[in-house]
Amino acid sequence: MGTVTRGTTNPNRLRRMDRWIAAVHGAALRRAEDPLAVDLGYGAAPWTAVELLTRLRSVAPRTRVTGIEIEADRVAAARPCAREGLDFVRGGFEVPVTGRPTLIRAANVLRQYEEAEVTAAWARLCARLAPADPATGSGGGLLVEGTCDEIGRRHVWVALGPEGPRTVTFAARLASLDQPSDLAERLPKALIHRNVPGEPVHAFLRDFDRAWAAAAPFASYGARQRWIRTATALAADWPIVDGTSRWRQGEVTVRWEALAPRA
């Protein structure tokens, strides 16, 4: 289910997303009886699936990764890279794997679809995730869907659980960033057309830039210290869910409902 994407990819392109997944979802992968991660739409080369296995196994050694592509030739080209814990299959949004994945990563996939198609794609993928704990309603699998530039310096992604979207993360190589709103061009499909006056994501990026400008004196201590100061100020008015340990990595994560498009 789905259409063939351009398939462009580069080694190490998704390092920021992978690093975040390992940090925030590593415990869930370790707890899972059979931790399976899916790299959906890995593209013309299998680098991102290979790297995902390495990075996830550094925090959850039993993790398996399945790369899924809708283009048969891409699957055939990737199979020589298969190994213990890593395989490749043909498929799309139906996620043709046995069992329910603990993680589905879909990077630079929905970017090439229409905005109106996003909700249905999210729902289909979330329905394939490992379910939440019936007693607490928490936990379950994680869908991470977002967009980055060609070399992975700027990245924005949405994290979704079985119940739907939870958070939005903005991540960047800070030395290459003039202002936080530079990340607007990498907003996921659900948000990129909403960066206009009157929409929450527009207001968030406006406030992000203002906090960045106010933190300019901290630039003498380095871009990282300026970013931390910016995030601290931003958290006074927006539901930021992470803290200094993630801000040091050039990330800021905010609750989805604060940025969700208005009807």
pLDDT in the model for residue 263: 78
Rounded to whole angstroms, the Cα distance separating 97 from 19 reads 24
- DSSP three-state, residue 37: strand
What does 89-111 look like in DSSP terms, one character per residue? Answer: EE--TT---SS--SEEEEESSGG
172: β partners: 154
* pLDDT tens-digit series, residues 8-24: 788 899 999 999 999 99
Cβ-in-10-Å burial (0-12, 13-18, 19+) of 134 comes to exposed
pLDDT in the model for residue 132: 82
CA-based Rg of the chain, rounded to a whole angstrom?
A: 18
Give the number of other CB atoms < 10 A from CB of residue 9.
19
Tokens describing residue 107: 């990077």
pLDDT in tens, the chain (263 residues): 777 777 678 889 999 999 999 999 999 999 999 999 999 999 999 999 999 999 999 999 999 999 999 999 999 999 999 999 999 999 999 999 999 999 999 999 998 899 999 999 999 999 999 998 776 656 689 999 999 999 999 999 999 999 999 999 999 999 999 999 999 999 999 999 999 999 999 999 999 999 999 999 999 999 999 999 999 999 999 999 999 999 999 999 999 999 999 97
pLDDT in the model for residue 113: 92
pLDDT in the model for residue 178: 96
pLDDT in the model for residue 135: 65
Overall CATH class of domain 15-172:
alpha beta
Q: Work out the end-to-end distance of the chain between its first and last CA atoms, rounded to an integer number of angstroms.
A: 27
Contact call for residues 254 and 241 (beta carbons, < 8 A):
yes
Contact call for residues 252 and 177 (beta carbons, < 8 A):
no
For the chain, how are helix, strand and coil distributed in percent, rounded to 5? 40, 20, 40
pLDDT in the model for residue 106: 97
Domain range annotation of the chain: 15-172, 175-238
Q: What angle do CA 57, 175, 222 make, to 5 degrees?
A: 105
Q: Of the candidates 206, 209, 185, which has an alpha carbon nearest to the alpha carbon of residue 259?
A: 206
Rounded to whole angstroms, the Cα distance separating 171 from 214 reads 20
Phi first, then psi, for residue 240 (nearest 5°) are -75, 130
Q: Which helix (H) or strand (E) holds 213?
A: helix 200-214
pLDDT in the model for residue 36: 98
